[in-house]
């Protein structure tokens, strides 16, 4: 019999739900387990509301029946033998059929068949994620630990379950780095070597850009990102994704600036739809040739690509700004830029105060100024669109931005146009 776990640090509500699932398993003669991150975090005393249930047998059928009993919504993926239930109380639980997997070639997606809980645990990434808890009433709370996951969890080790694990699925390299940084654990010496060997074999070239991108997004959403980036650097993992890509040497400083930019934008630009992910990517992908190559390799969306490029361009353009620049000059210079590189640029540690003020003023105020006189207004007054017409329009708007005029009337006077 496995170790029986202490459930005292999970909420009684969750505990009751798990018991209900176990009782339902008993009634329908299926063994059911809670697995993965929930168990890992229960054992390390962290809250994790991602509840993954493994059913020995058909999880789609099981979840369908349980959802009826709970009056919840069920979404099934028959192809993957998985289902999710959203309960009336808002909790979402994932159900998967215990399965065994085989990899036909490195980096390919595995072929999947029904299996036992032990087979299911053995196909997982690391021992600390290969822990399950029995839910049937007679064995409720018993740990299933066929890979010494509990020992590794206590020792703080990230350990794969077999020699070929990283070759089968190189995304596990990123996952290892993420768990290591998050829990302040250590990837075992053997696995560090396997990571280097896998990279050396070029297996990363076989996986899709989208999958790599997802892993990097996951890393960027963690707290201990600088530690994780150090690891990426030690393994030269970014260079293995594309030879032009290196983690910036001053990453930690950029990371602090990104955090400040996001926080500043959330309080100072509450109505602006800021893409915080783009700001995070600006810390990692800074060199123009790498931006081009990596965006293409990782299939980054055009908008993100444009924002990353804008950031490098902005660095040059900011030199044209001076402490004496008028609001219209600030507007003219910064208007081509989206808010993300501006907010990020503003928080760079070497930025003089006056520049921070000017960018801040642009983002919170100038950017939103609506012209008192529009092109339409000028056309109504008999002017024809032309180069001179655009110059006139800009002259009007610049005067407005600089506070020289405050009504349309004053603008017409300035432009010498009959009202």
Residue 160 Cβ, how far from ligand ATP at the closest point, in Å? 9
Tell me the window of 22-30, 122-130, 399-407, 409-417 that interacts with ligand ATP (CB under 6 A).
122-130
The yes or no reply on residue 50 touching ligand ATP (CB under 6 A) is: yes
Residue 68 Cβ, how far from ligand ATP at the closest point, in Å? 26
Q: How is 241-266 classified by DSSP, letter by letter?
A: H-TT----TTHHHHHHHHHHHHHHHH
The yes or no reply on residue 134 touching ligand ATP (CB under 6 A) is: no
Q: How is 83-125 classified by DSSP, letter by letter?
A: EEEE-TTS-EEEEEE-EEEE-SSTTSPPEEEE--HHHHHHTSS
The yes or no reply on residue 30 touching ligand ATP (CB under 6 A) is: no
Q: Which SS3 state, helix, strand or coil, does residue 134 take?
A: strand
Q: Which SS3 state, helix, strand or coil, does residue 399 take?
A: helix
All residues at 6 or more sequence positions from 380 whose CB lies less than 8 Å from its CB, including other chains:
none
The yes or no reply on residue 172 touching ligand ATP (CB under 6 A) is: yes
By CB under 6 A, name the one of 21, 31, 32, 36 that touches ligand ATP: 36
All residues at 6 or more sequence positions from 307 whose CB lies less than 8 Å from its CB, including other chains:
275, 278, 281, 282, 338, 340, 341
The yes or no reply on residue 171 touching ligand ATP (CB under 6 A) is: yes
The yes or no reply on residue 147 touching ligand ATP (CB under 6 A) is: no
Residue 399 Cβ, how far from ligand ATP at the closest point, in Å? 55
Residue 372 Cβ, how far from ligand ATP at the closest point, in Å? 52
Report whether 366 contacts 327 (CB < 8 A).
Answer: yes
Q: Token match 């008999």: residue?
A: 382
Structure tokens at 75: 């979404």
Residue 322 Cβ, how far from ligand ATP at the closest point, in Å? 47
Q: Closest CB to ligand ATP among 171 and 198?
A: 171
Tell me the window of 71-79, 83-91, 165-173, 314-322 that interacts with ligand ATP (CB under 6 A).
165-173
By CB under 6 A, name the one of 124, 159, 297, 355 that touches ligand ATP: 124
The yes or no reply on residue 375 touching ligand ATP (CB under 6 A) is: no
Q: Which SS3 state, helix, strand or coil, does residue 233 take?
A: helix
The yes or no reply on residue 52 touching ligand ATP (CB under 6 A) is: yes
Q: Token match 């994620």: residue?
A: 129
The yes or no reply on residue 169 touching ligand ATP (CB under 6 A) is: yes
The yes or no reply on residue 152 touching ligand ATP (CB under 6 A) is: no
CB hemisphere CA count around 61 (13 angstroms): 7
Binding site for ligand ATP (CB under 6 A): 36-37, 50, 52, 124-125, 129, 169, 171-172
């Amino acid at each position: 019999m496995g170790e029986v776990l202490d459930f005292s640090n999970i909420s009684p509500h969750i505990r009751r739900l798990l018991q209900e699932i176990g009782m339902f398993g008993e009634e329908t003669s299926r063994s059911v387990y809670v697995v993965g991150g929930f168990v890992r975090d229960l054992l390390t005393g962290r809250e994790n509301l991602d509840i993954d249930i493994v059913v020995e047998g058909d999880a789609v059928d099981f979840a369908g029946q349980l959802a009826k009993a709970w009056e919840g919504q069920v979404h099934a993926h028959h192809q993957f033998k998985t289902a999710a239930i959203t309960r009336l109380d808002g909790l979402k639980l994932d159900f998967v059929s215990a399965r065994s997997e085989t990899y036909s070639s490195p980096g390919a997606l595995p072929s999947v068949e029904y299996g036992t809980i032990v087979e299911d645990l053995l196909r997982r990434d690391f021992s600390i994620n290969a822990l399950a808890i029995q839910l049937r009433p007679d064995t409720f709370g018993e740990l299933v630990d066929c890979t010494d996951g509990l020992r590794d969890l206590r020792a703080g080790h990230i350990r794969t379950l077999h020699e070929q694990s990283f070759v089968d699925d190189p995304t596990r390299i990123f996952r290892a780095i993420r768990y290591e940084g998050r829990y302040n654990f250590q990837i075992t010496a053997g696995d560090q070597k396997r990571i280097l060997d896998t990279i050396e074999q070029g297996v990363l070239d076989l996986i899709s850009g989208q999958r790599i991108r997802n892993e990097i997004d996951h890393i960027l959403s963690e707290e201990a990102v600088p530690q994780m980036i150090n690891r990426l650097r030690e393994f030269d993992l970014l260079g293995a994704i594309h030879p032009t890509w290196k983690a910036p040497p001053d990453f930690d400083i950029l990371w602090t600036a990104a955090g400040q930019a996001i926080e500043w934008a959330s309080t100072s630009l509450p109505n602006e739809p800021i893409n915080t992910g783009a700001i995070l990517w600006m810390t990692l992908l800074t060199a123009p040739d790498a931006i081009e190559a990596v965006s293409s390799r990782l299939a980054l969306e055009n908008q993100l690509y444009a924002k990353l490029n804008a950031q490098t361009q902005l660095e040059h353009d900011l030199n044209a700004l001076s402490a004496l620049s008028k609001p219209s000059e600030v507007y003219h210079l910064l208007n081509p830029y989206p808010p993300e590189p501006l907010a990020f640029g503003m928080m760079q540690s070497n930025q003089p105060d006056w520049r921070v003020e000017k960018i801040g003023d642009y983002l919170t105020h100038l950017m939103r100024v609506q012209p008192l006189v529009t092109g339409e207004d000028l056309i109504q007054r008999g002017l024809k669109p032309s180069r001179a017409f655009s110059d006139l329009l800009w002259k009007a708007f610049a005067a407005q931005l600089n506070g020289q005029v405050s009504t349309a009337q004053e603008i017409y006077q300035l432009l010498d146009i009959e009202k």
